[in-house]
Structure 1
């Protein structure tokens, strides 16, 4: 017992010396405490709150799609009394896809908590996740009404194509926000959110790429063409050039100009594209105008940035 006590004492002394020698940057506990004590500037707060709009949208779409119920059932405290989403329902998914989407759903709940643990945030905005809303987006992408109207909940492939519409927009926003952030806590949070959002987008694109040349029934349109049309629409709505690419592109647009397969989207250096909040609003409103609500946000998005544009309606 005396030997054990002596060994423990020596180990404690050595650990104490090492702790004092190791830079504080290696101690996550110290970093977290420092972040909590450091004020986050208002510009950071605005940029951190804005993505809540997208995170609410993704959380509700994935929760309902995989389990048939949303935040009001699984995390009602995160809604802060915001209105229930319109038209969201359980999708007709195969077991594998349902499992993947359920993982995404809980990840999005975590994202909401992470942001709200850092900034005050705002209640869930009114979201339109109805078949009609997605059908309108697909009609706009093809420049004509699809018959029958596109139903995101009809099958796994329908749902994955609909999912292609959502997470990518959010991740481009995180890429755009990161260099504008000032506080270490803000940068760490956005980097972490971007990592998982990018992973979700990669999984969705990977699953769709396997079926890229398969024609979606009953339209006779390949999965690749759906993604290309959706990306073209987002580029058009964003009004800032190419920041979106489908699953199959001209070879000159592929990685290093060497390949047409495009399972991950990126610029000429295969670096992720960046969007501003204004570009994102133009896309998710479906109007091409950050001051004209619609699309997935009938009453507009929330937060200081989004509201500053709504005041100019």
Structure 2
């Protein structure tokens, strides 16, 4: 009798445990936020679009030169639309130029790792001031005159932060799926650099948090709230970006409103899927509807699969 009782108790516990496990395994992200299956090579190729964007923006805005001017034969394709020298201070200019040059190194490292043929085909980029102004239009914030990211240091730092943030968020999201030790080491090395780059630009913004973004009346701190709202709205997968100041319940350990590094409740960095990033850089909120910074879309098979599957 005792043996039967013990057996029944064991079976009940087993059923309860299995029910708990089943509940845990069926909690999935919404269809809008699920990643599209991709190989290691495809993920790196997707990231190359973002590396090329960052390198072109940073170099053309500081020294008026592009990737092929620095490393001839590495890439080939149309020149970016609307890129111009930014009116930024010398300190910021040096940091931006250095990070742009580093992006060329990252591109070359990926090419070497994947044995890709050069010159790489580049996506058409639109780096014109009008495109950056559209980010504010996305939240119905009408600015007069329209926002010009090249106008001054305060304005340019918003674009600088996101150029690194896109890469940081994407690499953080794909790290667990990278196959191969050399490939993982490369992804980790780039992710660490981009996280550091993001931190530097956020710190520069934080130093200016109370300064006005000329010619408007809002401060740099307010501006980070606006851009975070844009990224979260277009990305479509909840709060994954934050301003320089947050309510106390969202601060680190609920003890600070300072928020130089945007992170989750456990101060871990957020991640974004390829589709989320496409929605943001296209400024359409739709991963299959190109526009914005990439008027004709991305290069690579992962992007083509997203289009084919209509994974908006």
TM-score, structure 1 as length reference: 0.83
Other-structure match for 1:83 = 78
CA distance, structure 1, for counterparts of residue 230 and residue 309 of structure 2: 25
Which of the numbers 121, 138, 141 marks the counterpart of 1:140?
Answer: 138
Give the 3-state SS of the residue equivalent to 2:126 in structure 1.
coil
Q: For residues 192 and 48 of structure 1, do their structure 2 counterparts lie closer, same or farther at Cα, with a shift above 3 Å needed?
A: same
Measure how far apart 1:283 and its partner are: 1.1
| Greater RCO structure (CA 8 Å; 6+ sep) | 2
Report the Cα distance in structure 1 between the residues aligned to 2:218 and 2:261, rounded to whole angstroms.
21
1:216 is paired with a residue of what secondary structure?
coil
The number of equivalent residue pairs is 270
- Report whether the alignment pairs 1:199 with 2:196: yes
Q: Which residue number in structure 1 is paired with residue 59 of structure 2? A: 63
**Which residue does the alignment assign to 1:112?**
107
- How far residue 145 of structure 1 moved from its aligned partner, in angstroms, is 2.2
2:40 to 41, 44, 65: 44
Following superposition, the deviation at residue 275 of structure 1 comes to 1.1
Q: Deviations over 1:28-67 (max 9, x none)?
A: xxxxxxxxxxxxxx71111111100110000000001110
Give me the whole-angstrom Cα distance separating, in 1, the residues matched to 2:162 and 2:232: 12
Give runs of aligned pairs for residues 264-279 of structure 1, distance below 5 A: 264-279=261-276
Q: Partner residue of 1:172? A: 169
Cα deviation for residue 256 of structure 1 reads 0.8
Contact 1:291–1:312 (CA under 8 A) maintained in structure 2 = no
| CA distance, structure 2, for counterparts of residue 89 and residue 64 of structure 1 | 6
Pairs within 5 Å for 1:151-190: 151-190=148-187
CA distance in 1 between partners of 2:107 and 2:207 (Å): 31
- Which residue does the alignment assign to 2:35? none
The match for 2:258 among 258, 261, 266 is 261
Q: Do the aligned residues in 1 keep the contact of 2:164 with 2:198 (CA within 8 Å)?
A: yes
Structure 1 residue runs without a partner (length 5+): 1-41
Q: Does 1:300 align with 2:297?
A: yes
Partner of 1:37: none
Q: Which whole-Å deviations, capped at 9, do the CAs of 1:61-89 have from their partners, x for residues lacking one? A: 0001110111131123221x211111111
CA contact (8 A) 1:164 1:227 kept: no
The 1-side partners of 2:157 and 2:103 are apart by: 17
Deviation at 1:258, TM superposition (A): 0.9
Over the residues paired in the alignment, what is the CA RMSD in angstroms? 1.4
Output the CA distance in 2 between the equivalents of 1:144 and 1:275: 25
Query: Aligned equivalents of 2:254 and 2:159: distance in 1?
Result: 28
| Contact 2:96/2:160 (<8 A) preserved | no
